[in-house]
Structure 1
Amino acid sequence: MSLELRCHCCSDIIQLELYLACRIGFVTQDDVLFTHLTVKETLTYAALLRLPRTMTREQKKERAMDIIYELGLERCQDTMIGGSFVRGVSGGERKRVCIGNEIIINPSLLFLDEPTSGLDSTTALRIVQLLHDIAETGKTVITTIHQPSSRLFHKFDKLILLGRGSLLYFGKTAEAMPYFSSIGCNPLIAMNPAEFLLDLANGNTNDVSVPSELDDKVHMENQNLQDTNSKINLRPSAQDVHEYLVDAYEHRVAYKEKKKLLAPLPISDDMKATITSSKREWGTNWCQQYSILFCRGLKERRHDYLSWMRITQVIATSIILGLLWWHSDPTTPKGLQDQAGLLFFIAVFWGFFPVFTAIFTFPQERAMLNKERAADMYKLSAYFLARTTSDLPLDLFLPVIFMVIVYFMAGLKASAMRFFLSMLTVFLSIIAAQGLGLAIGATLLDIKKATTLASVTVMTFMLAGGFFVKRVPPFISWLRYLSFNYHTYRLLLKVQYDPVPDILMTSVPLDNGVTEVGALVAMIIGYRVLAYLSLRRVKASNG
């Protein structure tokens, strides 16, 4: 299908882009999928976000199941996608899931970038046969492919051959070999047509007969080389072959093909109505986007957050702390200082842990975010809020286990009110530290750079936390107010000892704790606003 559209202003271009966005599917070379979601969950979430809001939730789920059966994925529908460190579906099944993510919206045009890359010949043939079946339903499928087998080559209806950025052939696949034969290029040995064409495109004529024009040119060049006693070259150069093929295409085929492509086709009334409507139609409203992304985030990250390795790490650390501070006695100066050291370690541990978990969030999901935002699946604000809040239930599970073990083993104040206030303080510290990690990750979007910056920042905050140095020089004393460790440590002291003993008193007296709580809340909000603005800046620069 071709459209003759004349755009007279920017609004016309925007209308055209909105129309094309919901009519075109694009499958990237790399399989951009969530590792821990199953095949069914992946396609269901895509259906919920991408299909029009005129469809009910159940209809969208039925559409996802139809795609699963259409692509032959019913046997692995409850298997995780998997990745480098997670066992999942096969490469061919993963590629079919990527195709399913795009054809779920029933696009008129489907682009694929090297869909057979990394697949064995049998699996590659299945993928190409699937694309052929999709094309037979009335869709236009365009794919790039390198080194296809002869069976794959004959599955394609039309062929575009490029060499050094220039068009060497465009037309029916079945007519490609006769065309090159007509211009004097034939394989000298039995070979895959695709290999023959790639050799020509790269100027390799070792197993290819060349036309008399090129032979004459080579003989003339060799005659000149003999006169200068230079080494004789018996084959035409790659540059000569390329120029000959480009010239032959321009004179024999290009004009007729361009005339066909430029012939306008009438636009139906439905298309005109869709194109002239400049309003962007999201598949769901903002609240539904948030809800879907929140549930998807919980399912995707629960495996990492609640892995046995992480649970074992937290439990082992809490038991070691409980044994080292076993029933510490705060009635003696040494015991009091020991407990203060424990409280500071808790503030540092639950400041360090969330930062280095959160900095990976946006760099790791950058490809997925770019892909889904390009497809207009959701608003950035809905994604950001869902992404940052879906971590909270998971982030707060392990600290509860940690505090239950450490609090009573170490002999801290056995009071329900003090215990819950201590937990609340730790929660505030975690959310603030997580915000810092999100801001660093979103600003840099590079794991190595983000890790380096986070290490320096966390170390600085720890040193300014009020335990190692109580009398900070005035010219740098402002630094402690930026440290969530400082505010968390002071709140934990306030909860455990009210009034706080002079031996533990820092240079700034403790009041009722409102200042510290306000500072942590400001960090929670401020860091997240910075992270969101950084993501918007990246999106704007990419767009």
Structure 2
Amino acid sequence: MDSSSSAPSLPRLKLKRPDSQKIDLITVPEHSCVSNFGQTTDYSAVHVGFKDISYTVKVGLFRKKPRRLLDNVSGDFSGGELTAIMGPSGSGKTCLMNILAGYTNAGVTGQRFINDEVRNENAFRKQSCYIMQDDNLQPLLTVQESMTIAANLKMSYMYSQKEKHNRIKEILECMSLWEHRKSRTSHLSGGQKKRLSIALELLKNPQVMFFDEPTSGLDSLTSKQCVMLLKQLASTGQTIICTIHQPSAILFEMFDHLYVLASGKCLYQGSVKGLLPYLEETGLTCPPYHNPADYLLEVASGEHGDYIDILTNKSENGLCSDWRKKQRNTIQLESLEHISKAMRAGRITPTTAPPIIFPKIDKHKHKEHSNPCCYGSYPTSFCNQFCVLLKRTFLILTRDRTLAYARLGEDASNVLNNFNFMFFSVMFLMLTAFNCVSTTFPLELPILTKELFNKWYSLKSYYLAISIADIPMQIVATLIYALVTYYLTMQPVDAYRIILFLFMCILISLVAQSWGLLIGACMDIKNGVIFGPFCFLPFTIFSGFFVQLNDSHPYMRWLFHISFLKYGFEGLVLSVFGYNRGKLPCNADYCHFVNPEKFLDQMDMEHANYSMAVIFLISLIALIRFIAYYVLSVQIQNNRSKRK
């Protein structure tokens, strides 16, 4: 509906605002966008609409009761506009953002549209991206490495490496990150991390971009720079939608479109300029020199009375478009000029939106065979995803000092006898391999969740890459420990015994590593450190070191046969004392175990079989890793459903 014909005339405020908050508007013709402070360019807009969206979750431990977080809200966000979703904490901002981005689908009712047509989720996901509040970046990669990996995953095979490099350079220069391209992401400032998060997603030229609290954790100047960048991206024709909690007056006036939520209902949808007159019609007058954004949150929180139902009815829960300006893109000249001066003075890093060319979202494009270059849901093939992720994982592993130092310890090298040495070697290999993975893998889950949702790669290619990339590192660390301790404890220097000993050590460490992957996928670091070792307690008791098989209760003997520590322990003992080893030299007055066969019989290992131990451990590795993959996929879905 045209606001020029149906909207009420806007009353003139009696008291002027101070110059710092005074805003003059320049109008732009409809279906045009503003670029570079006044130059207009045409574009094919993508409008994101929704109608009667409700979202219900179940809360409670035993008797779960349904709780409605969104209540039949509707709205329309136009292409080329910078839209802000505002509301007090718990109003449903992030819920609505997750639903519109396709991040949350369970418990959602209603319709979502693209250009007034019911959207196809697969086609929409290919041309949209979601940048979350936390900048989940790989801390051990440099800026250029992060961009290169993203380009190889997000840009199709039709682009050459030179074209990808030029695109990376173009984006980083526009984002003022080119001079920091060799810096690790962990060394970047908050604003630089935010710009890098945006740059990573711009590689695929998304038509619709969602931002959850883009100014969270940033100072006022950096927040202005961030919003300015979003404004410029919108001016290129993209649809930019973001949630924002409590912006300053200058930031608030920079948004083109405002969508206000409270208690899961829409209180207002329209231009920023029309907000105060809209509120005045219901008897709510913003005090002079008061930030309109702060006053809006006070109204939505009920500090000035219960106006939620009144404003919900007035806005028709988002259906009313009377307060949308005919000029879809209005730039607050004074606010932008204020930020431009700060950039020229060097107080804010100058940034510009890189040139963006993107195809239209086609609702019929979801047919996979019609777009062979996308390899289904992803821009590149499974083999390419696997190779890129394998290279990235190797790069991270070589730089992660925590993993390297933890795997190369020597705590178990000073045991007093061979039997104790072999048992404590098993325990050492198990705990180091387990702790290395269980304390680092949970840190990858937020990054993995973000990249999977934005269609960087598939979960299968990621899981296969980390599984294979981590094995050589674990093998090398295990071999270093096993060879050193084998030599220091003066074990027999026989080639086949050394090989058997080393191979069994490798299998033990890989089983423990698999357990760590499973625990890391199930729990966070704190719970994994506490509850993870409990998983090994039954295996440790029934490993054959503390209690022998023949000495245990008959009803408990089955636990020996499922204990992987028992098989690993037997394998090490057999590699040293088995296979018809001759009598041992005795330098004391009496040696009870001169004959190794007698020792094996005493330890209930006379029937132990090295081949059976190998088969059991390899099968257990495959089984645990398969279960870990399934648990990881469920955990990622749970993480998405918990994000509200």
- Normalised by the size of structure 1, how large is the TM-score? 0.79
Q: Which moved more, 1:268-277 or 1:132-141?
A: 268-277
Matched, 1:371 2:371: no
Q: Distance in 2 between matches of 1:29 and 1:289?
A: 26
Q: Which residue number in structure 1 is paired with residue 538 of structure 2? A: 460
Q: Distance in 1 between matches of 2:291 and 2:199?
A: 30
**Change in 2 beyond 3 A, CA 1:43/1:249:** same
| Aligned equivalent of 1:521, options 618, 623, 626 | 618
Amino acid at match of 1:72: S
**Any conservation in 2 of the 1:306–1:394 contact (CA below 8 Å)?**
no
Matched, 1:473 2:539: no
Shift of 1:509: 2.2
Q: Distance in 2 between matches of 1:26 and 1:246?
A: 28
Q: Distance in 2 between matches of 1:182 and 1:397?
A: 73
- Structure 1, gaps ≥5 residues long: 6-11, 83-87, 206-237, 262-267, 326-337
Q: Distance in 2 between matches of 1:415 and 1:480?
A: 30
Q: Which moved more, 1:140-149 or 1:374-383?
A: 374-383
| Aligned equivalent of 1:535, options 632, 638, 644 | 632
Q: Distance in 2 between matches of 1:355 and 1:246?
A: 54
Matched, 1:392 2:464: no
| Identity among equivalent pairs (%) | 28
**Any conservation in 2 of the 1:36–1:301 contact (CA below 8 Å)?**
no
**Any conservation in 2 of the 1:439–1:527 contact (CA below 8 Å)?**
yes
Q: Which moved more, 1:291-300 or 1:62-71?
A: 62-71
Superposed counterparts of 1:18-97, under 5 Å: 18-82=122-186, 88-97=187-196
Amino acid at match of 1:515: M
Q: Distance in 2 between matches of 1:445 and 1:60?
A: 38
| Aligned equivalent of 1:314, options 406, 409, 425 | 409
**Any conservation in 2 of the 1:373–1:380 contact (CA below 8 Å)?**
yes
Superposed counterparts of 1:337-486, under 5 Å: 338-360=417-439, 362-442=441-521, 444-470=522-548, 471=550, 472-486=552-566
Q: Distance in 1 between matches of 2:635 and 2:317?
A: 46
**Change in 2 beyond 3 A, CA 1:4/1:463:** closer
Structure 2 SS opposite 1:162: strand
Q: Which residue number in structure 1 is paired with residue 287 of structure 2? A: 188
| Aligned equivalent of 1:141, options 232, 240, 245 | 240
Q: Distance in 2 between matches of 1:307 and 1:429?
A: 18
**Any conservation in 2 of the 1:290–1:386 contact (CA below 8 Å)?**
yes
**Change in 2 beyond 3 A, CA 1:530/1:271:** closer
Q: Distance in 2 between matches of 1:14 and 1:451?
A: 47
**Any conservation in 2 of the 1:48–1:61 contact (CA below 8 Å)?**
no
Q: Distance in 2 between matches of 1:272 and 1:108?
A: 12
Structure 1 SS opposite 2:400: helix
More strand by share: 2
Structure 1 SS opposite 2:409: helix
Q: Which residue number in structure 2 is paired with residue 300 of structure 1? A: 396
Residue by residue over 1:510-530, the C-alpha shift from the partner in whole angstroms, topping out at 9 and shown as x without a partner, is 466211111111111111112
- Structure 2, gaps ≥5 residues long: 1-45, 51-113, 328-357, 370-375, 581-595
Q: Distance in 2 between matches of 1:269 and 1:487?
A: 59
Q: Which residue number in structure 2 is paired with residue 496 of structure 1? A: 576
Q: Distance in 1 between matches of 2:399 and 2:140?
A: 7
Shift of 1:475: 1.9
Q: Distance in 1 between matches of 2:496 and 2:319?
A: 84
**Any conservation in 2 of the 1:298–1:390 contact (CA below 8 Å)?**
yes
Shift of 1:111: 1.0
Q: Which residue number in structure 1 is paired with residue 584 of structure 2? A: none
| Aligned equivalent of 1:277, options 351, 354, 367 | 367
| Aligned equivalent of 2:604, options 507, 530, 538 | 507
**Any conservation in 1 of the 2:156–2:380 contact (CA below 8 Å)?**
yes
**Change in 2 beyond 3 A, CA 1:178/1:253:** farther
**Change in 2 beyond 3 A, CA 1:307/1:432:** closer
Q: Distance in 2 between matches of 1:136 and 1:355?
A: 50
Structure 1 SS opposite 2:322: helix
**Change in 2 beyond 3 A, CA 1:182/1:38:** same
Structure 2 SS opposite 1:256: coil
Q: Distance in 2 between matches of 1:273 and 1:55?
A: 25
Q: Which residue number in structure 2 is paired with residue 203 of structure 1? A: 302
Shift of 1:285: 1.2
**Change in 2 beyond 3 A, CA 1:269/1:204:** closer
**Any conservation in 2 of the 1:352–1:458 contact (CA below 8 Å)?**
no
Amino acid at match of 2:509: I
Shift of 1:278: 4.5
Matched, 1:2 2:73: no
**Any conservation in 1 of the 2:212–2:243 contact (CA below 8 Å)?**
yes
Amino acid at match of 1:463: I
Shift of 1:360: 4.0
Q: Which residue number in structure 2 is paired with residue 85 of structure 1? A: none
Superposed counterparts of 1:322-333, under 5 Å: 322=414, 325=416
**Change in 2 beyond 3 A, CA 1:253/1:48:** closer
**Any conservation in 1 of the 2:539–2:565 contact (CA below 8 Å)?**
yes
Q: Which residue number in structure 2 is paired with residue 254 of structure 1? A: 320
Compute the RMSD of aligned alpha carbons.
3.3
Structure 1 SS opposite 2:185: coil
Q: Which moved more, 1:521-530 or 1:53-62?
A: 53-62
Amino acid at match of 2:619: A
| Aligned equivalent of 1:119, options 218, 222, 227 | 218
Structure 2 SS opposite 1:344: helix
Q: Distance in 1 between matches of 2:489 and 2:118?
A: 64
Q: Distance in 2 between matches of 1:114 and 1:362?
A: 26
Q: Aligned pairs, how many?
A: 477
Q: Distance in 1 between matches of 2:404 and 2:472?
A: 17
Greater RCO, 1 or 2 (C-alpha within 8 Å, sep 6+): 2
Matched, 1:102 2:201: yes
Structure 2 SS opposite 1:284: coil
Q: Which residue number in structure 2 is paired with residue 288 of structure 1? A: 384
Amino acid at match of 1:193: P
Superposed counterparts of 1:159-238, under 5 Å: 159-181=258-280, 184-205=283-304, 238=305
**Change in 2 beyond 3 A, CA 1:258/1:68:** closer
Shift of 1:125: 0.8
Structure 1 SS opposite 2:259: strand
**Any conservation in 1 of the 2:274–2:323 contact (CA below 8 Å)?**
no
Shift of 1:350: 0.7
Structure 1 SS opposite 2:490: coil
Superposed counterparts of 1:261-272, under 5 Å: 271-272=361-362
| Aligned equivalent of 2:311, options 241, 245, 262 | 245
Q: Distance in 1 between matches of 2:49 and 2:359?
A: 14
**Any conservation in 1 of the 2:126–2:377 contact (CA below 8 Å)?**
no
**Any conservation in 1 of the 2:47–2:239 contact (CA below 8 Å)?**
no
Amino acid at match of 2:135: D
Q: Distance in 2 between matches of 1:76 and 1:198?
A: 38
**Change in 2 beyond 3 A, CA 1:371/1:357:** same
Q: Which residue number in structure 2 is paired with residue 129 of structure 1? A: 228
**Any conservation in 2 of the 1:340–1:504 contact (CA below 8 Å)?**
no
Shift of 1:164: 3.0
Q: Distance in 2 between matches of 1:460 and 1:532?
A: 24
**Any conservation in 1 of the 2:501–2:572 contact (CA below 8 Å)?**
yes
**Any conservation in 1 of the 2:406–2:432 contact (CA below 8 Å)?**
no
**Any conservation in 2 of the 1:183–1:248 contact (CA below 8 Å)?**
no
More helix by share: 1
Amino acid at match of 2:532: A
Shift of 1:358: 2.6
Structure 2 SS opposite 1:25: strand
Q: Distance in 1 between matches of 2:509 and 2:405?
A: 20
Residue by residue over 1:370-420, the C-alpha shift from the partner in whole angstroms, topping out at 9 and shown as x without a partner, is 222222222222111111121112212322332233222221112344333
**Any conservation in 2 of the 1:48–1:283 contact (CA below 8 Å)?**
no
